[in-house]
Structure 1
């Protein structure tokens, strides 16, 4: 048996996979996000660990014998978050998350300090990434910054609690802006630009390689044998790709979770930051991927349901019952509740409803939300195509994939076939379990087979044409919309920055470079 643990923004998901590739059981535990100031987004790492242990308890109760036969564990998680640790592995402050936008000014400063940032890191400096968060910390919380002994990504904090090891993998590390993406190693230059060194980074292992073994105390508490292997794992997008079988160049998927992602596998590092397209390492050796990201996707629907006090299960049938003429006259919704990445790279973009009338009822507004997210995904797909990526069909994963109506709306909007798979809602948890399986000796070709097809959604030409007209209006509305003035961050100024020692002490630098 192989256990996958996926640390999302709103939930910890755990999944048990048998050696035939069948999902034996799943469980989850909710998480909450703290927003102490506008633009801030934080979680307490201890909450991740408590939620993980609770989810594991639920999973163990559903399949105790199968759970006890676990041989390896894989990890998946939300990317870019900054977990700051002191020399005793104590957390110094709440983790700043991927959708935290406080470090906008620091992005400009980082780009100024490292003129070749885009060529090395493969991405624009965006406030969601980890490196700008550390510049913000140095400027606004100097006592915290001076105490940092290690910076971990969210899933890697769980690894620390599981194994006692400070380790990460290239797919997740690529979201820091500290990774030399082509070489899959930490960059002395990029780290030095934020006042850090390789000695403060976790060692790197490939996602399908062992990173350590389960601590005896954890194994005993969970009812597992000693020596259970914990794989390197991957960032949530890369892990989801492994779970859906998107492992070879040209494979791709659309994920509709808290954020929205279109992910396409490449055989080499292909950066295109001009279109705010992300270029990252895959969780599998020797592969990379391009990715478009919108910051608010299914979270827009959750927000609207909270606002109107209606469950999604009630609202979605109301939306589906709208006539085509009602959809055509529905309001417009700009889904930028947390700013936006691809293609706008606009941390200050805001959500808007447009064209409201007395006839705008709950169903019409709900449709506008689903359509606005679909239009945001269309912007991302166009950015990928501008980067030279051709997409004919995409797997569809994430919580949003449970809605047939939303799936068809996306297929019609993107003019692209979408396919859901059995177990595709498991997303990163399934991919994490597969990475654990490979760390235990599983062969990639057998482990990473595409799951059985559940449903296929083919675009309708007439609906695509009608949606294209509304998409044109949607884009014009973004160009016209301007956010309210935002108080600027503290003035940027050079900080006294220590240089990374030479040679770099990072133990993974040389080993990964040889691969």
Structure 2
């Protein structure tokens, strides 16, 4: 058996799978976020440990844990967990969605070495600018920093006593030479840190240590249970859904939207705001377009109307050509390809004939155009997208999925219902670490059905996408 632990922002999830990758048990523990100031987002690492204790205890009450061979880890990326020389936490972890370090990030991004070596823009949510902020605003704390860990890697420290990170998560720090898959001494020095402040690196499918004996005894685990490197949340989810080979991709229509494509080569394009990170498997990378409001845009509009999102989308019928009405889904800014934290959403070109259906369609089409922006940004670098899966709550809308299929000009595959998320991917990585198996166990899920594009509407969607891009430029000029 193998355990997957996924440390999210709102909770920690754990699952147990058997050798056939059947889920035997699962458990969850909720987490809260502290926002003491505008733009701040923090969590206490002690809360993560309490969540692990709860989840592991719950799993142990459901299955006999004596057959567990490995634990894999997945987690929210970019968080800055600061430890002193004794391994004690110095301050609350600054999370991925914390924007306090915008000034520091802009200054670092102005140094071309960061984009050259990491392959990415230095976003305020990344880890390195957070350390710059601590240095500038909490110098006494900065002077005590002995180790910087990402959130899931603090769980690893609790489980194993080892300071270890893996490539996919480390690639989101702005300190990793992403092509070389190693810490960059040059970039660390630029933030007054050194390699000694960093955990050692392993691949996601490698062993990083073993569960401490006292924890194994408490949870009924055998001796020497392996803890795998694991992966950042999206990379682990990609392992869970089987997107591990060049040509395979998934679009996730969750609160935010992600277009994730696996690649067997390193081909960054930082200026496009595409994330180019290491994958959780050796010699593999991935590119990712990020949309900050995907299903969240539909949820927002449904709340405005006082209705349920599924009822609104379910009433749309067959796919239609986009109307003149446009919705730009930038409720909280946008990541790919604009890297624009200040831009905000807008309805455009409404007339007397615009009704509820018109506006619902405009919201779905607006997110579809944003997916198309990410698709174009990824493929412009040479990334292949030959097979596309759709996951997340928004993928339950056939209208929406067919709009995406038509806009991109390719079929979209819908997997059978099941859990293919970060915890499942983490458990698969644990299986790889314990057995020596490779990517062959990260199989694609069974496809329940495929939604094909509507060829006769392709030109209409292309024309609407061009109007969408022009509308962004006009809106940008007004902000």
Separation in 2, partners of 1:87, 1:293: 36
RMSD across aligned C-alpha pairs, in angstroms? 2.8
Per-residue CA distance 1:432-482 (angstroms, 9 max, x = gap): 111000110142154222222222222122344443343333323322224
CA apart distance, 1:364: 5.7
Q: Distance in 2 between matches of 1:109 and 1:402?
A: 42
* Alignment-derived partner of residue 443 in structure 1: 437
2:208 aligned to 200, 206, 211, which one?
A: 211
Partner of 2:429, secondary structure, is helix
Distance 2:195 2:55 in 1: 34
Aligned partner (choices 249, 257, 260) of residue 257 of structure 2: 260
The residue number in structure 2 matching 1:508 is none
2:85 maps to which of 84, 87, 94: 87
* Counterparts of 1:43 and 1:302, CA distance in 2: 26
Is 1:220 the counterpart of 2:217? The answer is yes
**Closer, same or farther: CA 420–110 of 1 in aligned 2, 3 Å:** same
Aligned partners of 1:137 and 1:144 also within 8 Å: yes
Q: Is 1:44 paired with 2:44?
A: yes
Distance 1:325 1:186, change over 3 A: closer
Alignment-derived partner of residue 392 in structure 1: 386
CA distance in 2, matches of 1:210, 1:160: 14
Counting matched residue pairs gives 479
Q: 1:496 maps to which residue?
A: none
- SS of the residue corresponding to residue 385 of structure 2 reads coil
Select which of 373, 383, 405 maps to 1:379: 373
Match of 1:455, SS? Answer: strand
The answer to whether the 8 Å contact 1:397/1:427 transfers is no
CA contact (8 A) 2:95 2:125 kept: yes
Q: What is the TM-score of this pair, normalised by structure 2?
A: 0.90
1:185 maps to which of 182, 186, 191: 182
Q: 1:237 to 1:424 in 2, by over 3 A?
A: farther
TM-score by length of 1: 0.84
CA contact (8 A) 1:152 1:201 kept: yes
1:167 aligns to what? 164
- Structure 1 counterpart of 2:144: 147
Structure 2 contact 80–151 (Cα < 8 Å) conserved = yes
- The superposition leaves residues 258-277 of structure 1 with CA deviations (integer Å, 9 ceiling, x where unpaired) of 43222222222211112122
SS in 2 for 1:449: coil
Match of 2:97 in 1: 99
Stretch of structure 1 that moved more, 348-357 or 101-110: 348-357
Are the counterparts in 1 of residues 237 and 425 from structure 2 also a CA contact under 8 Å? yes
Does 2:330 correspond to 1:336? Answer: yes
In 2: Cα distance, 1:70 partner to 1:358 partner: 63
Distance 2:200 2:394 in 1: 35
Native 8 Å contact 1:156 1:168 kept in 2: yes
- Any idea what the Cα deviations from partners look like across 1:120-168, whole Å, max 9, x if unmatched? 1111112121111211221222233222221111211221222222211
Q: Relative to 1, partners in 2 of residues 1:368 and 1:222: Cα closer, same or farther, differing over 3 Å?
A: farther
Corresponding residue SS for 1:177: coil
Instruction: Give the corresponding residue for 1:197.
Output: 194
Cα deviation, 1:54-109, whole Å, max 9, x if unaligned, reads: 44444444x423x4422111111122122222223333333222233332221231
- Give per-residue Cα distances to partners, 1:478-504, cap 9 Å, x unaligned: 22224998xxxxxxxxxxxxxxxxxxx
Point out where structure 1 has 5 or more consecutive residues left out of the alignment. 486-515
> Which residue is equivalent to 1:64?
63
- 1:329 Cα deviation after fit: 5.1
| Residue 284 (structure 2) pairs with residue 287 (structure 1) | yes
Q: Does 1:270 align with 2:267?
A: yes
Q: Distance in 2 between matches of 1:364 and 1:50?
A: 47
Q: Decide whether aligned partners of structure 1 residues 249 and 342 sit closer, same or farther in structure 2, where only a CA change above 3 A counts.
A: same
Counterpart for residue 418 of structure 1: 412
Q: Give 1:431's aligned residue.
A: 425
CA contact (8 A) 1:122 1:181 kept: yes
| 1:400–1:331 distance in 2 versus 1, CA, 3 Å | same
Q: Distance in 2 between matches of 1:286 and 1:269?
A: 9
How many Å separate the matches in 2 of 1:324 and 1:15?
Answer: 38
* Other-structure match for 1:503: none
CA contact (8 A) 2:302 2:312 kept: no
In structure 1, the partner of 2:310 is 316
Query: Contact 1:212 / 1:231 at 8 angstroms: preserved in 2?
Result: yes
**Structure 1 counterpart SS, 2:468:** helix
Q: Distance in 1 between matches of 2:444 and 2:184?
A: 35
SS state of the match for residue 159, structure 2?
A: helix
Is this contact kept in 2: 1:214–1:227, CA < 8 A? yes
1:468 aligns with 2:462: yes
Residue 394 of structure 1 aligns to a residue whose secondary structure is strand
Structure 2, unaligned runs of 5 or more = none
1:133 aligns with 2:130: yes
Greater alpha carbon shift after TM alignment, 449-458 vs 219-228: 219-228
CA displacement, residues 252-299 of structure 1 (integer Å, 9 cap, x when unaligned): 222233432222222222111121222211111112222222233334
In 1: Cα distance, 2:161 partner to 2:255 partner: 30
Distance 2:190 2:248 in 1: 35
Q: In the alignment, is the contact (CA less than 8 A) between 1:44 and 1:95 conserved in 2?
A: yes
The alignment status of 1:22 with 2:22, answered yes or no, reads: yes
Please give the secondary structure, in 1, of the residue aligned with 2:247.
coil
Which moves more between the two structures, 446-455 or 394-403? 394-403
